[in-house]
Structure 1
């Protein structure tokens, strides 16, 4: 396969033109590397290399102006804006930057297409007056109307002042540089009469570029080579040749000179395969699969390119590449915004955008736990970032002050100041960011070999903050953290970390625009969806569509044609083409395949193989976890048994033995997070502790209505006290927490009302025990070690001579939850019988401790179902509404339960029965 660049060089060489004396002008710098590489293939003589430059470099040379960054242009434009706008009417820099970017793009387009400035700005002003229902003719115009029309009146003034200011500093944006280049063209032609320019690979040209190239052609100082196929240019409706047809038709030069070149490469045999794949990650994975197949067939990836229509696919694609790729070149840089360090500064800016004196705990935790920050707080064997986070979680600190953070971090108050004390000038903020970078660098320097990549990250961010410092020092437009954050994001979005690779060898990974002028034998194009290729009808401009048409400015039609050309040009000389698109409907890009795919299918030139690829997801049969009880585990089980099985731990085993193993044997606790909203277990603890405080002094005495009424007076105070103890420093004064606080008071108050109603009905209630702690040994003949039961009963009382064991539940419990039909099911059906199991275990413990006399009752008081009163455990003789219920717990009842309990504990402690996970 010969490339377009080689064909151009071969043609020049065949005409005996000395390549050394030529100036090659290409659409991009990257194409120049390939051109320089192919010169030795054309000429065998030793010679100096020709000048090879991009069109932007050539135009800069013509204009005498240097291109500058978009961010610096924004600062320069704000200078113009503030000089021409009264202080009282001027936007802040942050507000200005949001609309000024669009206006700068419009200035750029107006200049690149050499539109008379005064004419188009006057035209825009007149249109806005008409669109505004002749606001300009209103007698009593509001301030809004005046400001709106004044903005359009000032556009030409803004433009004139801004462009003159830039020219005086010898800098400019692309459009201004092009306009100035055209102004200087005549002088350049006269001063470089013997210089020959070779333009190659161009397609869409703006008016300034057309003017420059045509003038050089007319003065016999240039040659131009187009790269277009006959299949496109012969079809008047094919957008791949939209611009080329216009150039061929409209340029006077081609009336008497040949049009080089119209080739016939596209119609040659090609292997074109189209793959519809779900999601972007699926595309990246399939790229890896295709590359493996190519390596297997050709043993190398030379002359192979992966072209990413959506450049966000870069990282997934790199992760999906086969491991045996030796030579690789990535023309796109790694976006700085995707680097871990970017998340740190983004979080710091976000934290300081508000002027609050305290910081939300999640923000603090994200900063302190960041991979670049946490190691800085290490001292001896203790990490003070971790201990600070732990204290925040334990004490439910939803908002934390700087003073509190300094106290918690002990000797690291300087770092806390650096991270959180930003309520100062912009200069100081930038200085703090730079200081932080150098502190992190000092830490990483301790192990340079391991941290080379991280140090590279730091270097690039140091450059970024140096640029911010320079811009702020030169212009002084950044007045607060919010404005600084906006400019930081603007700079960050355009910065990349460049890859090192082999520009001329192996696999090439590039974006669509970087493929200009280049040819590859095998091409993989991803992201070929509507909204990506082409990008669709976006119009980010102040210039209306009809005005653009009138002034021959590009619209979405021309933008689509540019992508059409690049897409088809990749296919022209390629032999193997793999086109990938996303089949899934996404919010922004849709799930529709690109019109380009439909077009090549309908053309009928090539046999297109179209497949919908589903990712190969292996059927993974999840194996339940099984843990054999070795000697070590069995010894730990003995210790658990000796300390005592609680009712909740036993029901946990019934629910899922593996959870019992994690919590009781391995001692793995669940992660405790900060409770922003009071958790349900915290609410239960508060209610339990409040009732304990109320009833503990009444143990051994009969309740009276007067006593309960006195307790009601202290509900608010006591609940508040226990919230402060349990919820620590969490805020219960507002929002959901205040509602839950009121619910806790209502639970307690309603319970006391229930007691009063019961006493009014003539019931005699005597408190026997409150929060009665029990630890009893039970005899299990099958086990040769001690087994105990342990637990705390919320309340034991005596009502009309019958002893009751009462368990409080803040959740909802129904009568059916404490009824049992089949004794054998009590240790197997967690969902149905767990509550019955718990209260019977309490009853058994109380009996073993000889604290009760039969008959007794046991049950639950549900605070969410208080209307049902005391829900008694009952044994039913059968299922159904008419079944006979026995609510008294006798020795026979406990004997039946004890038999099931013994079997359960024997199973738990049997070394031959492993802990086996239940499929829930």
Structure 2
């Protein structure tokens, strides 16, 4: 396969041109590298390299202006805006930047296409006057200001461009306009200099003017790369611009139009693959490359062209490990590297000035991979210490002073991270720069293994130095919010360049970087509407009809540009793989591109069209099964001797694997910070409050007067226990205040129920509060003792009947403490866990001779207090109206103990593994 560049060089050589004396002008710098490479294949002897430059470099030389970044351009424009706008009407820099970007783009287009500035701005102003009835006398201030803005556009433009020219700087459009203006003097000073323009397609008016003038003066040659299939079809957008040049340029009336080729019609293998989602495309690119290698096809002349450049990272992660040489023309986005998330977190924390720090923000920052090592001093991990303190004390908000107390040897780092920036841009930039130096000093300790991290850091150091320079030079950044906006603007445009040999191995590039280049095998991704082509976008103050009137490009011309690039990639290629996303997405592209449909309708090539679905293996979910090894049995013996509680036994009933994790492996759930009081915390507070109230009453009959006295202590006691359990969590506002009030109401309602029962003539004697129980039960089959432990919330005597009471702050219904079949009590957790719990308490107390049967046992539900004491009862199998027996007799205990022992035997049986249940 011969390339377009090779053909051009060969033609020049055949015409006896001295290649060393030519100036080659190409659409991109990258094309220049390939041209240098091809030179060695054409030149038969050693020659001096010709001058090879991009069109941007050529035009910049002509204009005598230097291009500056979009961000700095914005600062320069704001100088002009402030000078021409009343101070009380001027937008802040942050607000200004949101619309000024669009206006600068319009300035750029107007200049690139050499549109008379005053005419178009006057025209725009007149349109707005008509739209807003400017002749009306009763215009609002808003309308006046709006029309004033449009009337000032010509002044903004004039002052701004004069200001830039005086500083010898400019934006692209201004550079092009000045270049066209300076062309006569350039021709005069370089009467013999020969230029070769190759591979161009869509040219703006400035470029057309420059190239035509050079052609007229015999100082240039042009080489177009267009196929006859496109240029001969008047409706084919791939040749939209070349047809215009061929028809409209006077030079081509008497001179040949080089070249119209016939490469596109040659035989090609074109495959179109519909793949679901972007990641699916990335993975399939890896599959295609792997397949090419297995077929012994070299990737030396292969290109992966990404329609959506956001696919770069997924594609890199999907490449086969067998690829040795790789060249990536796109930079790695700076916003995607790890340290970007650190500064994102810092700006998030400091955008709103405050002396208190939200714990999640603190944890996010101190846990960051670049910060955590800075907090490890003298063998103390201060990051872990801070996190543990936050968890242990339930700290939702902290201060910098508190953090310094916890990390005593890291005060300088804590200051840089968490000291209030106080709306000071200088402080923010200084802190960020100092933080970068701290991280660098740490990484320098092991430079060899931290080279990549140091490269990341260096680029961020450059970025913050640029922010400092802009802030010093222009003084437009007044607050942290504006600084963050400028930071994001710079970050989005900065990339970290990959290192590699540009002419070797697989090429991964964006669509625009493929200009002038030819490859034998091409893989193009994201060929969807909204991406290729990008479709209608209207980021402009200039209406569509005004653009048409002034020959400014619209979305139609932009689509034609991408049509040309797409078909140019196919012209000389032999193997073409086109991928599109089958899942239409409003944000990232819609249905398959019209380019694919056009390829199919042309019927020039046979298109192999397939829909690719990822292979999703059927994974049978098998429950986790843990066999009981001798070491596990030994641990179970220890657990049994130490004590099994009713909650641990019901935990086994619910899911044996959870019992294994908690009791055998001793795995505990991490106690997260409770921003909102958790249900178990509320329960603990209510339990502890009632324990405080009733403990002094053990052994006595309670009275209405005593209970009324307890009611006066509710606020103080509940507050005390919230402080004890909820630690330093705030209960003075928000949901927590509501939960605090609920706790008081629960206790108050319970005491009211107690008073109501007493007034009804019931005699209640408190026997025990929070009674500890520990009994050993004999199970001969085991051969070792088993201990059952548990705390009973309350044991009392009501009208001569002993009651075992368990408090529940959640809602419990009577049906939750009723059973029909004894066998089900150790198998059905959802129905019988509460019955199991209260019966265990009764069983323990009967074994330890603390109660005499018969007794009642049950639950008081604070969310269902109007139902009173919910007694355990055994129901017949006769249905809803079956007879219930609420008294716990020896028979009841015997039936329960039998099931309990069976459960413990199962837990300790070496032949029954811990098997996970579906919960």
Quick check: TM above 0.5? yes
Instruction: Show the counterpart of 1:6.
Output: 6
For the pair 1:316 / 2:318, whether they are aligned, the reply is no
Paired residue for 2:763?
Answer: 764
Q: What does residue range 435-454 of structure 1 map to in structure 2 within 5 Å?
A: 435-454=434-453
What is the deviation of 1:62?
A: 0.4
1:801 maps to 2:765: no
1:243-392 superposed matches below 5 A: 243-392=241-390
Task: Give the conservation status (yes or no) of the 8 Å contact 2:529–2:592.
Answer: yes
Confirm whether residue 156 of structure 1 aligns to residue 154 of structure 2. Answer: yes
Contact 2:814 2:871 in 1 (8 A): yes
Please say if residues 625 and 915 of structure 2, whose CA atoms lie closer than 8 Å, have aligned partners that are also in contact. Answer: yes
Residues 338-347 or 528-537, more deviating: 528-537
Equivalent position of 1:175 in the other structure: 173
TM-score normalised over the length of structure 2: 0.98
Q: Which residue number in structure 2 is paired with residue 67 of structure 1? A: 67
Distance 1:567 1:720 in 2: 72
Q: Secondary structure at the match of 2:199?
A: strand
Deviation at 1:590, TM superposition (A): 4.4
Partner of 1:131 in structure 2?
A: 131
Secondary structure of 2:863's match?
Answer: coil
CA apart distance, 1:452: 1.4
Q: Give 2:402's aligned residue.
A: 404
Q: CA deviation at 1:439?
A: 0.5
Correspondence for 2:611: 612
Residue 602 of structure 2 corresponds to 603
Equivalents in 2 of 1:595, 1:836: separation in Å?
68
The worse-fitting range, judged by mean Cα deviation, of 560-569 and 313-322 is 560-569
Q: Which residue of 1 aligns with 2:525?
A: 526
Query: Given that residues 530 and 590 in structure 2 are in contact (C-alpha distance below 8 angstroms), is that contact kept between their aligned partners in structure 1?
Result: no
Aligned CA distance change for structure 1 residues 649 and 453 (closer, same or farther; 3 Å):
same
The aligned residue for residue 105 of structure 2 is 105
Q: Does 2:43 match 1:57?
A: no
Please tell me whether the aligned partners of residues 516 and 566 of structure 1 are also in contact (alpha carbons under 8 angstroms): yes
CA distance in 1, matches of 2:436, 2:690: 55
- Between stretches 707-716 and 144-153, larger displacement belongs to 707-716
Equivalent pair of 2:838/2:857 in contact (CA under 8 Å): yes
Question: Structure 1 residue 87: deviation in Å?
Answer: 2.2
Q: CA deviation at 1:835?
A: 1.2
Runs of 5+ consecutive residues of structure 1 not aligned to the other structure: none
Whether contact under 8 Å (1:872, 1:887) holds in the other structure is yes
> Could you tell me which of 189, 205, 208 is aligned with 2:206?
208
Specify whether residues 526 and 409 from structure 1 end up closer, same or farther in structure 2 by C-alpha distance, changes over 3 A only: same
Secondary structure of the residue aligned to 1:451 is helix
- CA shift for structure 1 position 126: 1.0
**Corresponding residue number in structure 2 for 1:550:** 549
Maintained 8 Å contact 2:353/2:423: no
Equivalent in the alignment of 2:715: 716
1:821–1:879: 8 Å Cα contact kept in structure 2? no
Paired residues of 2:377 and 2:410 also in contact (CA < 8 A): no
1:672-691, aligned counterparts within 5 Å? 672-691=671-690
Distance 2:582 2:685 in 1: 53
Q: Distance in 1 between matches of 2:709 and 2:129?
A: 77
The whole-number CA distance in structure 1 between the counterparts of 2:17 and 2:283 is: 48
Deviations 1:43-63 (A, max 9, x none): 211101111100000000100
1:791-843 Cα offsets, whole Å, 9 max, x none, are: 11111111111111111111121122111111112111112211111111111
1:40 is matched with which residue? 40
2:26, 2:54 within 8 Å by CA — same for their partners in 1?
yes
Q: What is aligned with 2:235?
A: 237
Counterpart residue number, 1:878: 877
- Pairwise mapping of residues 627-776 of structure 1 onto structure 2 (< 5 A)? 627-776=626-775
Name the structure 2 match of 1:219: 217
Partner Cα distance (1:686, 1:584) in 2 = 52
Instruction: Give yes or no for contact 1:530–1:589 (8 Å, CA) kept in 2.
Output: no
Separation in 1, partners of 2:583, 2:798: 67
Question: Match for residue 89 of structure 2?
Answer: 89
- Over the residues paired in the alignment, what is the CA RMSD in angstroms? 1.4
1:775–1:790: 8 Å Cα contact kept in structure 2?
yes
Q: Secondary structure at the match of 2:271?
A: strand
**In structure 2, how many angstroms separate the alpha carbons of the residues matched to 1:738 and 1:235?**
75
Does structure 1 conserve the Cα–Cα contact (< 8 Å) formed by 2:651 and 2:658?
yes
2-structure distance, mates of 1:636, 1:183? 90
Whole-Å separation in 1 of the counterparts to 2:517 and 2:143:
53
The count of aligned residue pairs is 918
Map Cα deviations across residues 139-195 of structure 1 (whole Å, 9 max, x no partner). Answer: 344332222122112111111111111111111100010000001001111111111
Would the aligned equivalents of 2:112 and 2:174 in 1 still touch at CA under 8 Å? yes
How far did 1:500 drift?
0.9
Report the alpha carbon displacement of residue 675 of structure 1 after superposing the two structures with TM. Answer: 1.2
Structure 2: distance between partners of 1:734 and 1:229: 73
Distance 1:715 1:233 in 2: 90
- Matched residues in 2 for 1:867 and 1:604: separation? 81
Q: How far off is 1:879 after superposition?
A: 5.6
1:22 maps to: 22
Shift of 1:783: 2.0
Q: Distance in 2 between matches of 1:594 and 1:835?
A: 62
State the secondary structure of the residue aligned to 1:865.
helix
TM-score with structure 1 setting the length: 0.98
Residue in 2 aligned with 1:839?
838
> Aligned pair in 2 of structure 1 residues 396, 204: CA closer, same or farther (>3 Å)?
same
How far, CA to CA, are the matches of 1:585 and 1:886 in structure 2?
Answer: 64
Q: What SS class does the counterpart of residue 289 from structure 1 fall into?
A: helix
Mapped to 1, the partners of 2:592 and 2:751 lie a distance apart of 68
Residues 344-373 of structure 1 show CA distances to partners (whole Å, capped at 9, x for unaligned) of: 001101111102221221111111111111
The CA deviation string for residues 682-712 of structure 1, in whole angstroms up to 9 with x for no partner, is: 1111111121122222211222222222222
Residue in 1 that maps onto 2:588: 589
1:904–1:162 Cα change, 3 Å: same
Note if 1:623 corresponds to 2:599. no
What is the distance in 2 between the residues matched to 1:802 and 1:461?
A: 77
Give yes or no for contact 2:355–2:399 (8 Å, CA) kept in 1. yes
Are the equivalent residues in 2 in contact too, given 1:330–1:499 (CA < 8 A)? yes
SS at match of 2:806: strand
**How far apart, CA to CA, are the structure 2 residues paired with 1:730 and 1:818?**
35
Q: Which residue of 2 aligns with 1:145?
A: 143
> 1:591 offset after TM fit, Å?
4.1
Q: Deviations over 1:46-83 (max 9, x none)?
A: 10111110000000010011111111111111111222
Question: Which secondary structure state, in structure 2, belongs to the residue aligned with residue 471 of structure 1?
Answer: helix
CA drift of 1:623 comes to 2.9
SS at match of 1:524: strand
Q: Match of 1:489? A: 488
SS at match of 1:775: strand
Q: Deviations over 1:370-429 (max 9, x none)?
A: 111111111233211111122122222222222222222222222111011122532222
Distance 1:138 1:400, change over 3 A: farther
Give the 3 Å change call, closer, same or farther, for CA 365–501 of structure 1 in structure 2.
same
Kept in 2, the 8 Å contact 1:821–1:877? The answer is yes
Shift of 1:21: 1.0
The alpha-carbon deviation at position 299 of structure 1 amounts to 4.3
The SS at the match of 2:874 is: strand
